[in-house]
Amino acid sequence: MKRSKAVALSLMGASALLLQACDDPEVEAKVYRDVKNCIDTGDLTPEQCIDMHKEALKEHLQNAPRFASRDDCYAQFGANDCQGYSNSSGGSVWLPLMMGFLASRALDSYSQGSAPLYRTRQAPGSLTTGTGYSVGDRYGSTARLPEWATQPTRSRTQTISRGGFGARSSGWGG
């Protein structure tokens, strides 16, 4: 293939990606620590703050990352930033703590939504959505983000193999 044709094809592909990115709807969201922080800013009514927090908490409990052990949760979210919960089958799982919530509004409509926020060990100074999108580190700030970043994530229990007893076998000759 000639070089000019390859360049043209590359530009066409890049243009398609840019156009697709432009089509992704954006939302404007406020970052809050808790209901009190939301009310104190005066951005929303107390009832709206309570409703948005409840929605984020419900999303958190349904879809937050789940871990089979406290140590696995600590490895991703940091010591003391996880909480144990009993599941429906009588076992327990570990979830990261919800460190705040987003109250969002789609910029092209009047629909509103809310999403939980977390702090990970990889980005301890930043708040992230369940999809891993960073919204900065200041409560009360406004963030513009793609709509997909506020969508619910599907949780699944994560187990991390770290070695230990039974991880390897060896024999003694004799």
Using CA atoms, how far residue 142 sits from 37, 48, 99, 102, 124, in Å, is 14, 17, 16, 9, 19
> Which domain, by its residues, includes 65?
46-158
Q: How many structural domains comprise the chain?
A: 1
**Is 19 part of a structural domain of the chain?**
no
Tokens of residue 166, six digits = 């039974």
Residue 138 lies in a domain: yes
* pLDDT number for residue 162: 47
The answer to the question of residue 173 being in a domain is no
Per-residue pLDDT, 90: 84
Q: Is residue 110 part of a domain?
A: yes
Residue 149 inside a domain? The answer is: yes
Alpha-carbon torsion 35, 36, 37, 42, what sign? positive
Task: Report if residue 2 sits inside a domain.
Answer: no
Structure tokens at 37: 């922080």
Tokens 């991390």 locate to 160
Is there a domain that residue 61 lies in?
A: yes
Q: Quote the DSSP letter at residue 110.
A: S
Q: What is the CA radius of gyration of the chain?
A: 22
What pLDDT score was predicted for residue 27? 82
For every one of its 174 residues, what pLDDT tens digit does the chain have, with 9 covering 90 and above?
555 554 444 444 444 444 444 567 888 899 999 999 999 999 889 999 999 999 999 999 999 999 999 999 999 999 889 999 987 788 899 999 999 999 987 555 545 789 999 998 888 889 999 888 899 889 989 988 888 887 776 555 454 444 444 444 444 444
3-state SS assignment for residue 45: coil
- What pLDDT is stored for residue 47 in this prediction? 94
13 within a domain of the structure (yes/no): no
Euclidean distance between the first and the last CA atom of the chain, given in angstroms as a whole number? 65
